[in-house]
Structure 1
């Protein structure tokens, strides 16, 4: 058995074997996989093996699409049949709103190239007469996917990995991980059978590996403890039942009827597929409990929990309604096993927080579907430095160890499980484990009608609803079109364009970077010129592949002291990347100190033509009338000011594109400052504004947002941001950025869409009948009175005035590329003097 390898993969389920296979295929010829039991003995063995292409995430859709295509090649390569039944996937809708959901997804699928077709109830009945269709509105059908045998596909990938030189060792458990500065030393123990249990023996070895990947499935909590980190991957019980033969089904198939597709009755929270003349019913019911919150017991191997039929009675009766012929079929077998979940349903794939060369592939609720693509894209990250798609949405650091706990993960994972078939509105907000992180002004905001969104654990106002709402007013009215909140966001956006609005931006990520090496480090770490003392700059940190890793607003407080502001959703993601980069450069540049000060500073953003008038009411200065003038406080500068008794680090910048300031203040003085500003703003008609209106306003200014326009699949040049790139200096990722050229280009579009809907930023863009790009953001423009969006298209089309089409609700709508910053392109309002 080897004791020194390039990469060690821990976990022999479908995900682990795929990673080992793809690392070898990508060129690493010294890869080992360890499995504590037998291959597939975790969740893989009791998975239903479905391969659903349906997913609202751009990255996850790519992963699933790769898996489906890859699995079809395995038999040709390995000689092993992976058991792939390409029967298709039929997603039925009982309501118009469910059809709206499918139409939004379908447009997303087009951006990836996933084929689909629409079926009417009559067309469904004609193809598969055993399905009851009288209460259906229609269905979305994927004919390229279906179901697969989880054990067979895993063994096929394992054989393919062995053929490429991967060593696969079973009955070895990774017990301890130690980083020696250059490599991982992994202490492994031989596991032996004893009384039906798997127990550690006295035999141990230490394997030295340059890279380690954990794909430990249900054992993620044990893995986290061994690594000294937190991972919000906790299993939830999932039930499915296998029924005896259905005589009508047997008769239908004997008469030449085609095998049914995987039948997904989302409104009944269940899926059904054929199984040897009978049916398998799987459900995603409410009240399914989390399990193994603190680790899997040693006695639990390829085991199951007792079936809880009462919990799934409603779904069982719904199946009888959908396939009436199964009513007399008996129960043949049942499965109730643990399947790992995460709070948002996406797996955790990427570098582990705080650790070098440690990679996580955990939390797969759809592990068979995602295994192939995860191996492919994670191998790209490890071998090439970055994947060809933006994997940030799956990054393990999206749940910060500063606030994420076991209790939080367990409750949110239960919620995620019972939301699998809930309508996934783009504006949905899930209530479990909330509120958790609140700014001091939370209660004051709630009292004024704030309806909150969840961002990195923080409660952040999305919009402010009416205080005089009737008792039956639904603040949670969601929609795939314009939800109940839309009219209030319109008024908030107008307030900033015409008067003044106040936004709580406390969730912003904030870091202090200082020390003798700080200036040289940041100059190398980011692509723009560093600001002078007292000034600010917008800049980007790049990946080694030259794509955008993080967006920063940098405030220079001193020669070697900087205050960095970045997106609120990515605090640990930003911190981990920056700290590791600084450690690598400490010997070259000198000492660099990095402090996460996010929770020390609150932020209010005040913006609009009257914002200076409001601040003039409360500023304390020797000459208050000129304190905020262009002469004393120019655009893109930072100053320390006093508002009443509150010291404020004020930055003259506004994400909305209006005259405005960000007011960074001591968090403990937030309520005082809130009350002061609310009192001063009353006579100026100041309105409270939420994140949704702000998102629309920033699109009117073509302000790119990290996680949408800015990500690890496009360079700052492709984002069309040359003014923020200093090509005269050397910076991290520069050569790779230049080598990529311009593969696509970011543009802003004004859209003549449906009267009752706006794009969400997931839609395909067309030039005639040719798909030429996709939206990354969308919304409504109060300045232009129509829909607006931002996205990426072919570079040759990225010219103002170009006419395109946007796919919304299965129709193509007119769109035109606008000039960059279509609202106030000369920045006259934002520079307004007073």
Structure 2
């Protein structure tokens, strides 16, 4: 057995073997450890379904790769993976469900996933055993189906061995130690004792430059060994297998094809054929989380007791949908653990705070994701980044505020929501409120309807008391739309106050801070008291983070970035600073997010409002252009509250960000509210702000900005200083311009706006996709931002965008179509 390898994969389920295969394919020397037998975790009892349907862009790519990859395994390895390409029929009982499918359709188009829509009559004609009179239609994926989980895992394992991977069974990782250059993994052989699998006294070490954990149900043990948090906790999932259905047996005996995997999303179940009978897999309410801290030694390839009462509603709905199943008995049942995460996306990427440690945990659809995860994670490890933006799966999207209790309750909610309508304006309720700014109760009393960002409660919009946010959600214009429109109009016409406390804030200081930040970011550093917008790149030249940098002193900086990415930004900052300490000197990176509250005040009346509050020897001149120009910072006093005021506005209007000691937030909120009332100020939420920033073509990290495009492709040339050296510069230039970020005005439907996941077309061919979308109060039209082929990025280019299934006219417009000269944001007073 090898004792030193380039990469060590810990975990021998479908995900682990998929990673080992692809790392070896990339040319790395790889070893895989499995504590028991391959597939002995959740892989062995998985139903083996391969659903391509997913509302996420990165996950859709992962699933699509897997389905295509699995079809090649037999030719390579000689092993049949048991792939039954029967298709997947996702039925809809409501118009809202069909709208969900129409929105998904655009994501599928951007990825290139084959799909079609069927009417109830077409379903009935193809599969007469399915009751259709209460259906609105269905989405059909002809290219997927189901696979044998054990067979596909063994096929990937054989392919990995053929490429030189050593797979060692009955060995458990007991400890991890980083030497500064490699990982020393303490291992022990496992032995049988009374039916349990326990560590033996045979202990040894394996050294590896990189380690990947794919430990499935054992993720909490892995987290403890690594000293980190991993919010991957299993939830019970049960499915039942029926005796043969005579009607189905007769259907197949007549020479008819196998039914596709059937999904009645509104009834919350999937069904597929199994040896003349049916497998029913429900996603019911009240499925409990398990193994919050450890998997018992006695639990190996085991199951939990079945709870038929919990799935009675789903079982009866299967009988309704497939009437012939009513008389068949139950043949077998399974109730096993399947890992989830709070948002349903797996954790794929670097472990927070650790070097060369990679996580592949929390897979609720592990069979579907295994091949694609191996492919894209291998790209990240070998090449530095994947060809798609994997940030939505990054393990660092959760911070240290996340607890075991939080993960367990959110994972239970996520399981229950597998088939719940996934509105783009969806906000789930479990574990809320948790992280709240001091003004939470005040804005809630004034009608704030909250969303959750990185655990923070953030107002999405404001509505009258008694308004039902849940009922207001829609794939079209929900009941909230009128309130967001009024808020956006107020910012353009009077003033709006936005709670932006969730912004990520870091203090970077020390003798090496200036040299480090100059190398770390693309733009020139601002002078003391000034600010700049800038970008940190990946080593491969794509956009890693967007920062507003405020220079407080010669070697002290205040960095503001997106609120959803606090731990993600902190980890990258600290690692890069530590890597270059020998070159630049000491750099201190301090996360000060929870020390500072933030209000963003914007609109033509914002200066007048602040003038009523500012305390200064010459109050009339404090906020004028001479003393407080655009893109500068001043320490001012608003009543009794000291404020770090930054003259910048994400809405494109005259405005300030008011960073204040968080313990004084309620005092400041009350003062601003009183001063703003005579000036027509409204409280404004994130949805209106999102519309407004698109009118100014302000890119957002996580949508326009990500690890799959460079700042130059994003149209951010003015924030890239090519006269200096910075991280990722040469790689950025080598990539060239593969696509361009553009702003579009759209003549769309009168009841729906784009959400930012729609496909763009030119002369009938798909040429790009939207990354953001909404409504423009300035132009009275839909607006969107996205990426297109460079030759189609010129102002005036006419494109088509698919919204709710139909193609609508769209025109590329100049950047910052609203106030392109920035006259309003620069106005003096």
- Which TM-score band (shorter chain)? over 0.9
Distance across 2 between alignment mates of 1:363 and 1:301: 18
Report how many residues are paired: 829
Q: Secondary structure at the match of 1:625?
A: helix
What is aligned with 1:448? Answer: 446
What is aligned with 2:101? Answer: 102
- What does residue range 721-760 of structure 1 map to in structure 2 within 5 Å? 721-760=716-755
What is aligned with 2:136? Answer: 137
Distance across 1 between alignment mates of 2:468 and 2:381: 51
Distance across 1 between alignment mates of 2:698 and 2:754: 17
What is aligned with 1:416? Answer: 414
Distance across 2 between alignment mates of 1:150 and 1:502: 53
Q: Secondary structure at the match of 1:698?
A: helix
Contact 1:90 1:263 in 2 (8 A): yes
Aligned equivalent of 1:650, options 645, 648, 662? 645
Q: Please state how far the C-alpha of 1:667 moved relative to its aligned partner.
A: 0.4
Aligned equivalent of 2:561, options 558, 566, 571? 566
Q: Does 1:225 pair with 2:220?
A: no
Contact 1:451 1:475 in 2 (8 A): no
What is aligned with 1:534? Answer: 529
What is aligned with 1:5? Answer: 5
- What does residue range 702-713 of structure 1 map to in structure 2 within 5 Å? 702-713=697-708
What is aligned with 2:62? Answer: 63
Contact 1:696 1:778 in 2 (8 A): yes
- What does residue range 792-811 of structure 1 map to in structure 2 within 5 Å? 792-811=787-806
- What does residue range 607-646 of structure 1 map to in structure 2 within 5 Å? 607-646=602-641
Distance across 2 between alignment mates of 1:374 and 1:757: 34
Identify if the C-alpha distance between structure 1 residues 308 and 690 changes in structure 2 by more than 3 Å, giving closer, same or farther: same
- What does residue range 444-593 of structure 1 map to in structure 2 within 5 Å? 444-467=442-465, 469=466, 473=468, 476-593=471-588
- What does residue range 345-364 of structure 1 map to in structure 2 within 5 Å? 345-364=344-363
RMSD: 0.7
Aligned equivalent of 1:406, options 382, 404, 407? 404
Q: Secondary structure at the match of 1:626?
A: helix
Q: Does 1:320 pair with 2:315?
A: no
- When structure 1 is superposed on structure 2, of 335-344 and 193-202 the one drifting more is 193-202
What is aligned with 2:374? Answer: 375
Aligned equivalent of 1:678, options 661, 673, 693? 673
Q: Please state how far the C-alpha of 1:730 moved relative to its aligned partner.
A: 0.5
Structure 1 gap segments, 5+ residues each = none
Distance across 1 between alignment mates of 2:97 and 2:468: 23
Distance across 2 between alignment mates of 1:430 and 1:267: 18
- What does residue range 322-337 of structure 1 map to in structure 2 within 5 Å? 322-337=321-336
Q: Please state how far the C-alpha of 1:484 moved relative to its aligned partner.
A: 1.0
Q: Please state how far the C-alpha of 1:477 moved relative to its aligned partner.
A: 1.4
Q: Deviations over 1:528-550 (max 9, x none)?
A: 11111111000000001100000
Contact 2:649 2:656 in 1 (8 A): yes
Distance across 1 between alignment mates of 2:398 and 2:513: 27
What is aligned with 1:291? Answer: 290
Q: Please state how far the C-alpha of 1:140 moved relative to its aligned partner.
A: 0.5
Distance across 1 between alignment mates of 2:294 and 2:495: 52
What is aligned with 1:188? Answer: 187
- What does residue range 77-156 of structure 1 map to in structure 2 within 5 Å? 77-156=76-155
Contact 2:449 2:469 in 1 (8 A): no
Contact 2:469 2:480 in 1 (8 A): no
Contact 2:190 2:198 in 1 (8 A): yes
Q: Please state how far the C-alpha of 1:768 moved relative to its aligned partner.
A: 2.1
Distance across 1 between alignment mates of 2:297 and 2:431: 30
Contact 2:349 2:393 in 1 (8 A): yes
Distance across 1 between alignment mates of 2:257 and 2:323: 18
Q: Please state how far the C-alpha of 1:801 moved relative to its aligned partner.
A: 0.8
Contact 2:343 2:414 in 1 (8 A): yes
Contact 2:290 2:337 in 1 (8 A): yes
What is aligned with 1:43? Answer: 42
What is aligned with 2:762? Answer: 767
Contact 2:17 2:156 in 1 (8 A): yes
Distance across 1 between alignment mates of 2:263 and 2:121: 17
Q: Please state how far the C-alpha of 1:45 moved relative to its aligned partner.
A: 0.2
Distance across 1 between alignment mates of 2:590 and 2:458: 23
- Structure 1 segments, 4+ long, off by >2 Å, are 472-476
Q: Please state how far the C-alpha of 1:810 moved relative to its aligned partner.
A: 1.3
Q: Please state how far the C-alpha of 1:474 moved relative to its aligned partner.
A: 5.2
What is aligned with 1:279? Answer: 278
What is aligned with 1:436? Answer: 434
Contact 1:619 1:642 in 2 (8 A): yes
What is aligned with 1:694? Answer: 689
Q: Please state how far the C-alpha of 1:84 moved relative to its aligned partner.
A: 0.3
What is aligned with 1:160? Answer: 159
Contact 2:747 2:782 in 1 (8 A): yes
Distance across 2 between alignment mates of 1:148 and 1:202: 39
Q: Secondary structure at the match of 1:822?
A: coil
Distance across 1 between alignment mates of 2:600 and 2:712: 29
Contact 1:465 1:475 in 2 (8 A): no
Q: TM-score, normalised by structure 2?
A: 1.00
Q: Please state how far the C-alpha of 1:475 moved relative to its aligned partner.
A: 5.7
Distance across 2 between alignment mates of 1:696 and 1:298: 53
Contact 1:415 1:432 in 2 (8 A): yes
Contact 1:751 1:786 in 2 (8 A): yes
What is aligned with 1:425? Answer: 423
Distance across 2 between alignment mates of 1:374 and 1:382: 12
Distance across 2 between alignment mates of 1:764 and 1:161: 36
Q: Please state how far the C-alpha of 1:758 moved relative to its aligned partner.
A: 0.2
Q: Secondary structure at the match of 2:823?
A: coil
Q: Please state how far the C-alpha of 1:808 moved relative to its aligned partner.
A: 1.2
Distance across 2 between alignment mates of 1:431 and 1:483: 18
Q: Deviations over 1:740-795 (max 9, x none)?
A: 00000000000111100000001000002100000000000000111100000000
Contact 1:475 1:484 in 2 (8 A): no
Distance across 2 between alignment mates of 1:736 and 1:260: 49
Distance across 2 between alignment mates of 1:567 and 1:704: 12
- What does residue range 158-307 of structure 1 map to in structure 2 within 5 Å? 158-307=157-306
Q: Secondary structure at the match of 1:619?
A: coil
Q: Please state how far the C-alpha of 1:473 moved relative to its aligned partner.
A: 5.0
Structure 2 gap segments, 5+ residues each = none
Q: Does 1:600 pair with 2:600?
A: no
Distance across 1 between alignment mates of 2:656 and 2:757: 31
Contact 2:48 2:367 in 1 (8 A): yes
Distance across 1 between alignment mates of 2:807 and 2:469: 31
Contact 1:528 1:724 in 2 (8 A): yes
Q: Secondary structure at the match of 2:382?
A: helix
Distance across 2 between alignment mates of 1:94 and 1:405: 38
Distance across 2 between alignment mates of 1:231 and 1:254: 49
